[in-house]
Amino acid sequence: MKKLLIKSSIALSFVMLLSACQNEANTQANQAAQTTESTEETSNQEDELTLYIVRHGKTMLNTTDRVQGWSDAVLTPAGEEVVTNAGVGLKDIDFQNAYSSDSGRAIQTADLILDENEQTNEIQVQKDSGLREFNFGTYEGDLNDSMWQDVADEQGVTLEEFQANMDPEVFADSVAKLDKEQMEENNVEEEINWPAEDYETISDRLTNSLDQIVADETQENGSGNVLITSHGLSITALLDTLFDGFEAPADGLDNASVNIIKYKDNDYSLESVNDMSYAEQGEKAQSD
């Protein structure tokens, strides 16, 4: 009887030991799975680059409704105000770097946004001519209505019809064609003035600049937030080139609007277009 009790006790102890070992193994497996999942989430976040692409604030030439491509003008007081509001709305975004078209209005916009930022250490805005607005050639400084009407006439539609169905490629190629005709008509040699750019030229320089920014940032930092300031039609053309089926806002991109692109696994994804909520948040914060 004693031998039977001893054997039963040993068997029970063995079962309990096996159960404890199994529980410990399950706990370790769960911890390992959680660690792997956490590592994967961290890795996914680290591999993602977020690009905040902002249109410059309103300028003096915008206010007088003049063609403004490679020609330039400073921001108006109202233009500075809305950009500052956007900067306040973006103040908690930790920008690791900032890039801008080399046009003064875009540089001024980047500086005003960074002035309001509470997360970013002092960084220098890097200027990139590839982020410029379209070059409109002989139309630079002309009234916008004059250029747009010429394009609509060239397309055989009314101005209202063309603007309602605005295609950046058709627009740029039409301006380039009309500009060339004007230069030939007035016996102006191409070397004397910069000719208007066709869409292929514009989209190539814009995507080349963006790809280079992404390559530099992913190599240096791997992930993070990047500020880019550019121009209405150029941002529209960039989004149109990168994303199939992109439709530009009927009235164009607003001054100080934010457009967000994410880059991950060698692929761009469009998160938001013509977002004025940052400027609206900033305006509200400053009025409270």
Q: The tokens of 254 are what? A: 């607003």
- Domain co-membership, 121 together with 258: yes
Same domain, 203 and 257: yes
Residue span of the structural domain in which 227 resides: 49-287
195 C-beta neighbours (distance < 10 Å), count: 18
Contact 110, 229 (CB under 8 A): yes
Task: Tell me the residue ranges of DSSP E strands in the chain.
Answer: 49-55, 95-101, 125-128, 224-230, 258-264, 267-275
Torsion angle of C-alpha atoms 245, 249, 252, 255, degrees rounded to 10: -110
Same domain, 35 and 59: no
Q: Could you tell me the two tokens for 68?
A: 């403004």
d(Cα 70, Cα 11) in Å, to the nearest integer? 88
pTM, to two decimals: 0.83
Predicted local distance difference test score (pLDDT) of residue 187: 80
57 lies in the same domain as 102: yes
Q: How confident is the model at residue 234 (pLDDT cuts 50, 70, 90)?
A: very high
Binding residues for substrate: 55-62, 105
64 and 143 in one domain? yes
Number of domains comprising the chain? 2
C-alpha 213/C-alpha 261 separation (Å) is: 13
Binding-site residue positions: 55-62, 105
Q: Answer yes or no: do 40 and 86 share one domain.
A: no
Contact present, 101 and 128 (Cβ < 8 Å): yes
Q: Report the alpha-carbon distance of residue 139 to residue 25 in Å, rounded.
A: 75
Average confidence (pLDDT) over 154-159? 97
**Spatial separation of the C-alpha atoms in residues 58 and 41, rounded to whole Å:** 40
Band of pLDDT at residue 31, cut at 50, 70 and 90:
low
In the prediction, which pLDDT does 221 show?
A: 85
pLDDT at 72 over 90: yes
DSSP conformation class of 34: H
Average pLDDT rounded to a whole number, residues 33-41: 47
How many angstroms separate the CA atoms of 112 and 73, rounded?
16
Tell whether 14 and 127 lie within a shared domain: no
Which tokens sit at 30? 């769960």
Q: In this structure, are 76 and 38 located in the same domain?
A: no
**Residue 14 shares a structural domain with residue 78:** no
Q: For residue 249, how many other CB atoms are within 10 A of its CB?
A: 13
The whole-number pLDDT of residue 120 equals 84
| Structure token digits, residue 138 | 């002989």
Distance, in Å, from the CA atom of 194 to the CA atom of 23, rounded to the nearest integer, reads: 76
| pLDDT band of 4, cuts 50, 70, 90 | very low
Q: Is the same domain home to 80 and 36?
A: no
Q: Are strands 258-264 and 267-275 parallel, antiparallel or unpaired?
A: antiparallel
Q: Are residues 25 and 86 in the same domain?
A: no
Domain check: are 28 and 149 in the same one?
no
How far apart, in whole angstroms, are the C-alpha atoms of residue 271 and residue 188? 44
Q: Are 71 and 104 in contact (CB under 8 A)?
A: no
Active-site positions read 56, 133
Q: Is the pLDDT of residue 40 over 70?
A: no
